[in-house]
Amino acid sequence: MTSHIKMDERVERDRLAEMVQAVIGKPLDRPEGALKVSGAAPYAMDRLPANACHGVLVRATVSNGTLRDMDVDAVQALPGIRAIIADDRLLRNPAQGMAGEAPIQGPKDIAYFGQPIALVVAETFEQARHGAQALKLRFEADGTAIVAPDDPKADIETPEDEQDSTGDLDAAMQTARHTVDAHYTTPGHVSAAMEPHASIAEWNGDRLTLYGSYQMLRFNRAELADALGIEEKQVRILAPYVGGGFGSKLGIGPEAVAAALAAKALGVPVAVAMSRQQVFESVMRRSETDQHIRLAADEQGRLIGIGHEALVSNLPGEEFSEPVTQATPFLYQGDHRVIGHRIARVHRTCAGSVRAPGEAVGLTALEIALDELAAASGIDPVKLRLINIPQKDPSQDIPFSSHMLAEALEEGAKRFDWDRRRSEPGAVRDGEWLIGMGMASAARVNMLIESKARVTLNANGTGTVETDMTDIGTGTYTVLSQIAGEMLGLPMDSVETLLGDTAYPPASGSGGSFGAASNGTAVLLACEEIRQQLCERLDCDMQGLTLKDGHAIVGNRRIALPEILDGSRLVGEGHVEPGKAEETVRQATYGSYFAEVAVNAITGETRLRRMLGVFAAGRILNPKTARSQCLGGMTFGIGMALTEELIHDPRDGHIVNRDFAEYHLPVNADVPQIDVVLLDERDAWANPLQAKGIGELGICGAAASIVNAIYNATGIRIRDLPATLDKIIDGLQSRTD
C-alpha cells in the first residue's frame, strides 16, 4: 500500500511530464483563497471554545539570575483569576527546528530578559492581562551577565568541525592582483510573522488537543509530549492555517506548554496568545553576525582565494548557530579557502532560524564583497560572477545536480537593461537624487526531508490528500492538489488537500524550503500506488493507463472513475527519504537580483525604484505561488538592506525595539512593483518531481543588490547593515568635506 523511495540516485523518468491533466506548472489560484479573503480560515486563536479561560504570560525583567519569589496571593485575589502556573515544565525558549524533544525547561533560572516565567489564567483576557501586569516578582540578578557578542569577556566557542581550510589563503592574498579584505556586520532580525504565537489546549482525559500556530507538526508533537512528560500518542496538534512562520514557528513554544499545563490544572480549555512584544522577546531572533571576508583574484578577476569567517551568538546551552557560510564553499571557484565559525554565548533572546538561516546574511555579505572586488578590478559585476562560476563544487569535488546561475545572471542583466548602468559611482543624478544600479547572485542549499502522505481516490471519483504538512502561506494546499490532480487525472475542484493535523501521516513540515518538494514527492508516490491499483482493476499495465478529467483511458476504452471504483475507494501512501544523492552531488538553487535605487544627496534617504529577481529552482509547480514566495523573500531583503535591525540594551541585552513601530518591516510604500522571472529547469537528483525549494531563495543575497546599488549611486560602501540614512549621510558628508 505504500510506495517508497530513497533518493540515492537520479530519477531519470519525469512522471509528471507523462501525465495529461495539465494542471502542474499552471498559475492556479489557491484553493483556500475564498476562506482566507473572507476571514473564514480558522487560525489557532479562531478556534476559541466558549468555555475557554485566557492565559497571559509573565516575563523576566533581568537577563541572568534566579526567580526568588512572586506575589501569587495578591493576584489570586483579583476578580476572575483562576490560576497562576509556574510549573517547572515551562519552556525557557522555543525548541529549535526539528529538535523533536523539549528545549531547556524551568522558569526559575533566568537566561535572558523577556523569558516567560509564569502564566496568569483568568476567565477573560482582560482579567488575565491585568493579573499578569500586577504580579510582583522578585529576582536575584547575576550581575556578571554578558549580553553583547563583542564584549571582551564573552565566552567564544570555536567548534572544530565548523572550521575548514584548504591551500594557503594568506599567501594568495599576498600575491593576488586584486583583493578585498573587510568586515561586514548584520544586526539581529526577527521573522515577524503577522500571526503572533498562540495555542489553545484542551484535554479529554489524558489526551491533549492543541490548536497551535506551528510549522512542523510531527516534531512539535514530540517536543510537546516530551515537555509535558507524556506519550506522543496522547497529543494531537492541529494547525491547518498558520499566519506566517519564516522559521519562528519551527519548534514548540512556551505558550503551548503553558496552555497545556493550565488546561490540565483547571480542567477547561485554555487559550494563550503571545503579545507582539512577547513574540519579539521570547521567540527566536536571527543572530547578529560579524563576517570577515577575504577575496583574492588574478588580473582577469578570477578568484584564487576566498575566506569567510563569522562570529554569531546564542544563549548558553543552545545547539543552533546561524550557519553564515553555508553557500560560500560552493558558489565561486578559488583554490585557497578558509571557512571559520565562532559562537559567542550571550544572555540575549534565543537565536534560531529566521528565513534562510545562513545564506540570508552570509551570502549578502559575500555578495557585497564581490561588488567591492568588481569595483577594485574594474570588471563588470555580472561578468565577475560569470567568470567565477565553478564547473563542480570546488570544496567537495563533486558535480552539481543542476546549475543555472549563469542563465539567471544573463537573463537578469538583459531584462534590467544592466548595460545602461554607469560603472563609476555617483554618475547619474535626478534632481537631488543620486541614481544607481546594483546586482547580486542568489544561492541556497536544497534539502529533502523524510515525508509521508496518504491519497484517497474516493468512490465518487474525487481525490483527497492527507498529510500533517502545513501551509504557512507557501502554497502547500495549492501545489499538493496540483500534483494529485496531475497524477490522478482530476480537475482541481475534484481534489481536496487536508493539512495541519497530526492525525494524518507525518510530513517534513514547513522549513528550509523543503516542504513542497518533500511532501509533493510523497503525494506523487501515493498517487503512483493508486494508479497501480487502478491498473490491477482494469487489467492493464502502468504504461497503458491514461487518467484525465476523472476518467481512465485504456486502449480505446474511456471509463469514468466511479464506474471503475464501483462504490469502493482506493488508498495509496507515499514515503520519501533522503539518500546518497545528498553526498553524490551538490544540490542548490540559484538566481540573480538587480536593483535600482535613488539616494537623496541631501538627507541620505534611499528609495528603491526597481527590483528584479531571476530564479531557477527546478520544476516550478505553480508559478503564481512560487512568484509570491520570491516577492516575499526579496522584500525581506529590502528590510534587511534598509530598515530592519534588532537593538539590544547594552546593560541587560533586552530588545529595545520590540514592536512594529520601532522594528521597521517594509510597508507597502517601501516596496516597488518587483519583477520576478522563474527559469525553466529540472533537477533529476532532487526528487521525482524534479523540483527544488524556492521559499528562501528570494532572500539569499537580495539585500546585497540594494547595498551595491547604493554604492553605484553614491560611492558609499555600507558594510554595516542596515543602510540607514544617517550612515549614508555620514558618507556623503565625508566625501564632500
Partner 1 sequence: MNTDLMVNGQAQRLDADPRTTLLDALRNYLHLMGTKKGCDHGQCGACTVLVNGRRINSCLTLACMHDGDEIVTIEGIGGPDDLSALQQAFIAHDGFQCGYCTPGQICSATAMLDEIAAGWASHATKNVASLPGLTVEEISERMSGNLCRCSAYPNIIDAILEVAAGKEQS
Partner 2 sequence: MSEGRYLRPQRLDEAVDALKGGGWNLVAGGTDHYPARVVEQRPEDILDLTGLTDLRGIGEFPDHFRIGALTRWTDLIEAPLPGWFDGLKQAAREVGGVQIQNRGTIAGNLCNASPAADGVPALLSLDASVELASAGGVRILPLADFILGNRKTARRPHELMTAILTPKPARPARARFLKLGARRYLVISIVMVAGLLEVEEGRVAGARLAVGSCSAGAQRLPALEAALTGQPADAGLAMLATPEHLAGLSPIDDIRADAGYRRDAALILVRRCLADLGGLR
Residues in contact with partner 1 by CB under 8 A are 29-30, 32-43, 45-46, 48, 124-127, 130, 191-196, 241-246, 273, 275-276, 472-475, 624-625, 627-629, 631-632, 634-636, 659-661, 665-669, 671-674
Of 514, 502, 525, 506, residue with least CA distance to 452: 506
The residue annotated as part of the active site, out of 288, 372, 529, 696, is 696
Closest contact distance (angstroms) between CB of 608 and partner 1 is 12
Query: Judged by CB under 8 A, which stretch of 140-148, 408-416, 654-662, 713-721 contacts partner 2?
Result: 654-662
Say if residue 569 is exposed, middle or buried (CB neighbours under 10 Å; 0-12, 13-18, 19+). middle
Q: Which is closer to partner 1, CB of 36 or CB of 558?
A: 36
Which among partner 2, partner 1, none contacts residue 674 (Cβ within 5 to 8 A by kind)? partner 1
Which among partner 2, partner 1, none contacts residue 464 (Cβ within 5 to 8 A by kind)? none
Closest contact distance (angstroms) between CB of 44 and partner 1 is 11
Query: Judged by CB under 8 A, which stretch of 222-230, 250-258, 682-690, 723-731 contacts partner 2?
Result: 723-731
Q: Clarify whether 696 is annotated catalytic.
A: yes
How many residues of this chain bind partner 2 (CB under 8 A)?
A: 32
Q: Which is closer to partner 2, CB of 345 or CB of 610?
A: 610
Asked if residues 594 and 409 have their Cβ atoms less than 8 Å apart, the reply is no
In whole angstroms, what is the distance from residue 73 CA to residue 229 CA? 28
Q: Which is closer to partner 2, CB of 337 or CB of 654?
A: 654
Which among partner 2, partner 1, none contacts residue 725 (Cβ within 5 to 8 A by kind)? partner 2
Asked if residues 270 and 121 have their Cβ atoms less than 8 Å apart, the reply is yes
Residues 709-725 as b or e (16 or more Cβ within 10 Å = b): bbbbbbbbbbbebbbbe
Which among partner 1, partner 2, none contacts residue 643 (Cβ within 5 to 8 A by kind)? partner 2
SS3 721: coil
Residue 133 near partner 2 by CB under 8 A: yes
Residue 670 near partner 2 by CB under 8 A: yes
Which amino acid belongs to residue 315?
L
Q: Tabulate helix, strand, coil % of the chain (nearest 5).
A: 30, 25, 45
Residue 643 near partner 2 by CB under 8 A: yes
Query: Judged by CB under 8 A, which stretch of 61-69, 199-207, 503-511, 659-667 contacts partner 2?
Result: 659-667
Q: Of these, 2, 66, 105, 277, which contacts partner 2 (CB under 8 A)?
A: 277
Q: How far is CA 234 from CA 37, 225, 256, 313, 530, in A?
A: 34, 8, 15, 36, 31
Residue 542 near partner 2 by CB under 8 A: no
Pairing outcome for strands 433-445 and 198-204: unpaired
Closest contact distance (angstroms) between CB of 540 and partner 1 is 39
Closest contact distance (angstroms) between CB of 722 and partner 2 is 9
Which among partner 1, partner 2, none contacts residue 78 (Cβ within 5 to 8 A by kind)? partner 2
Asked if residues 293 and 369 have their Cβ atoms less than 8 Å apart, the reply is yes
Residue 77 near partner 2 by CB under 8 A: no
Q: Which residues pair with 342 in a beta bridge?
A: 311
Which among partner 2, partner 1, none contacts residue 17 (Cβ within 5 to 8 A by kind)? none
In whole angstroms, what is the distance from residue 49 CA to residue 52 CA? 5
Q: Which is closer to partner 2, CB of 612 or CB of 729?
A: 729
Q: How far is CA 490 from CA 13, 19, 413, 483, 637, in A?
A: 22, 11, 40, 10, 38
Residue 341 C-beta-side C-alpha neighbours within 13 Å = 19
In whole angstroms, what is the distance from residue 343 CA to residue 156 CA? 5
Q: How far is CA 615 from CA 93, 415, 425, 538, 627, in A?
A: 35, 13, 27, 43, 10
SS3 of 89-103: CCECCCCCCCCCCCC
Q: Which is closer to partner 2, CB of 53 or CB of 98?
A: 53
Q: Of these, 667, 673, 734, 737, which contacts partner 2 (CB under 8 A)?
A: 667
| Cell numbers given for 17 | 511530464
CA angle 414–513–91, rounded 5-degree value: 140
* Residues with catalytic function: 696
Under the rule (CB under 8 A), what is the footprint of partner 2?
78-79, 126, 129-130, 133-134, 275, 277, 602-603, 605, 607, 642-643, 647, 656-657, 661-662, 664, 666-670, 724-726, 729-730, 733
